[in-house]
Amino acid sequence: MGSQHNVVGGIMNYAAPGRPSQSLSRSRLSSSQVLSNLMGEYPSGRVTFHNPIDQTVGWRVYFGDGQIHFAESTAGQTERLSYLLQQYVPQCELTLPSEPFSDYEFLCQLWRSEQLTVPQFRDLLTLVTQEALIQLLAIPKPKVNFEAQVQLDPLLLSSPLWKLIWPIEPHIDQWSLMHTDMSSAFQRPFIQDWDKLVYFLRYMQGTYCRLSHLTVALKKNLCLYELASRFSMDVKDLAITIHPLIKYGAVGVNPYEGVQTLNQPRVACIDPSQALQSLVRKTLEPAGYSMIPIVNPTKVFTTLAEQPPNLILLGSDLPDIDGYALCRLLRRIEFLSTLPIVILKDRESLIGNFRNRLCGSTTTLSKPVRPDELRALVQELSPSQDDAVANPSQSKALIHA
């Protein structure tokens, strides 16, 4: 295996064989710039890109002699390949492994089983590689890991980077525009506000008539690739369709996460501010927490019954109900009586501190919330990942008792 080198925020530090460590550039580089520079510097290798927004998924590119050989994802192979093969080779009989596997090895098996001719196989490798390039080149400031002298065997695709990128540039641009709200096709959309979703779908009935079962599908924690397969749509077109729902606040998105979600402590954030919900999500999800956003106070008890949390962040000023009053009501529920509840208050005051003691909250955090303070407080109050599964399941049983 070749030597490994790291990039953080698009800045590459590496050590070539026999040479001291040096910097690829003093400025922050885009994914395409990092890839182009590495291909010019090294005869061959493998570079892995991670999105800082969702580090549970990465993208790997193999290259040699200035040519791209293949690109694939580091996780979610079953969801992604199921979608891509349905799109490109629906005639093939496929059984995807249940365990993690290499995209390239699986595709080579299709060729060896004579389900595809060599020209068909090379076309498929090109399409799968281009789809991965669309996703990774839309990442503005990636985290990158490079391994020199890593090669594929057998080698059946060799194409200049520009030749692969030129036909997919509009797709890269579209994903780049959506990147802040939807960082990849591996993200999992979910219903964040039922009232807004129903209103939006009624208002846009003509546009969304094809997705009449969207509300049912969004309950199943499926990633965009899975949803696109279910609706027989191009994943980019599906993302463009869902994007206005995210902007409107009707739909939210979770990271891919895979099976790790089962062991993550869950944090409920009860506050109508979309800006605050976004800040909390971007602060806590990379630290290993699963978010339960609640923007409508009338949905609090139903949501907490269905998704018992390990910790609650509660805004002090809520529509229709005072946050301190809601905290007192939550404390009357048996499984929430000792759960950490943090009041997010707008200002420091003697009355506010007195009300905080009366309502039974664990502690307070002042707005505007600082990410480092929020992360430190949640880590102090939340259970370990080993305990995160057992406690909520017990809580769910108690609330229905």
Residue 95: predicted pLDDT:
73
| DSSP 8-state symbol, 144 | E
Q: Is the pLDDT of residue 368 over 80?
A: yes
Of residues 331 and 56, more confidence is placed in: 331
Residue 293: predicted pLDDT:
87
CA angle 379–246–392, rounded 5-degree value:
35
Residue 215: predicted pLDDT:
75
For 364, counting Cβ atoms within 10 Å of its Cβ (0-12 exposed, 13-18 middle, 19+ buried), the class is: middle
User: If residue 178 lies in a helix (H) or strand (E), which one and from where to where?
Assistant: helix 169-178
Q: 41-55, 257-271, 362-376 — which is least confidently predicted?
A: 257-271
Question: How remote is the C-alpha of 139 from its chain's centroid?
Answer: 12
Highest average pLDDT, of 138-152, 162-176, 335-349, comes from 162-176
Residue 373: predicted pLDDT:
92
Residue 289: predicted pLDDT:
84
Confidence grade of residue 188 (pLDDT, cut at 50, 70, 90): very high
218 and 189 in contact (C-beta within 8 Å)?
yes
Confidence grade of residue 83 (pLDDT, cut at 50, 70, 90): very high
Of residues 203 and 330, more confidence is placed in: 330
Judging by DSSP bridges, how do beta strands 290-294 and 143-148 pair with one another? unpaired
270 and 247 in contact (C-beta within 8 Å)?
no
Q: What is the mean pLDDT of residues 159-163?
A: 93
Q: Is the pLDDT of residue 140 over 80?
A: yes
**Tens of pLDDT along 241-254?**
899 989 988 899 98
Whole-number percent of the chain with pLDDT over 70: 81
Q: Is the pLDDT of residue 185 over 90?
A: yes
| DSSP 8-state symbol, 336 | G
| Domain spans in the chain, listed from the N-terminal domain onward | 4-178, 188-254, 261-399
Q: Is the pLDDT of residue 2 over 70?
A: no
**Tens of pLDDT along 4-52?**
444 444 434 343 333 332 333 323 468 888 898 889 888 998 999 988 7
Residue 163: predicted pLDDT:
94
181 and 246 in contact (C-beta within 8 Å)?
yes
| DSSP 8-state symbol, 96 | -
Residue 169: predicted pLDDT:
94
CA angle 285–181–287, rounded 5-degree value:
10
Q: Is the pLDDT of residue 276 over 70?
A: yes
Q: Is the pLDDT of residue 168 over 60?
A: yes
Residue 77: predicted pLDDT:
87
Instruction: Give CA–CA dist 73/373, Å, rounded.
Output: 34
Closest listed residue to residue 285, CA positions, set 374, 199, 198: 374
Q: Which residues pair with 294 in a beta bridge?
A: 270
Judging by DSSP bridges, how do beta strands 311-315 and 266-270 pair with one another? parallel
Contacts of 235 (CB under 8 A, 6+ apart): 83, 185, 224, 225, 228
Quick one: the chain helix, strand, coil %, rounded to 5? 45, 20, 35
Q: What is the mean pLDDT of residues 99-116?
A: 81
Q: Which residues pair with 252 in a beta bridge?
A: 190
244 and 207 in contact (C-beta within 8 Å)?
no
Closest listed residue to residue 185, CA positions, set 224, 234, 243: 224
Q: What is the mean pLDDT of residues 139-151?
A: 83
Residue 109's φ and ψ, nearest 5 degrees, are: -65, -35
Residue 70: predicted pLDDT:
96
Q: Is the pLDDT of residue 358 over 90?
A: no
Highest average pLDDT, of 19-28, 63-72, 288-297, 345-354, comes from 63-72
Residue 19: predicted pLDDT:
34
| DSSP 8-state symbol, 211 | G
Whole-number percent of the chain with pLDDT over 90: 31
Please, what's the b/e burial string for 164-194 (b: 16 or more CB within 10 A of its CB; e: otherwise)?
bbeebeebbebbeebeebbbbbbbbbebbbe
Tell me the two tokens of residue 103: 């995209």
Instruction: Give the domain 261-399 fold.
Output: Rossmann fold (3.40.50)
Instruction: Give CA–CA dist 330/334, Å, rounded.
Output: 9
Q: In which region does residue 229 sit, left (phi positive, over 0), alpha (psi from -120 to 50) or beta (all else)?
A: alpha
| DSSP 8-state symbol, 295 | -
Other C-beta atoms lying within 10 Å of the C-beta of residue 163 = 11
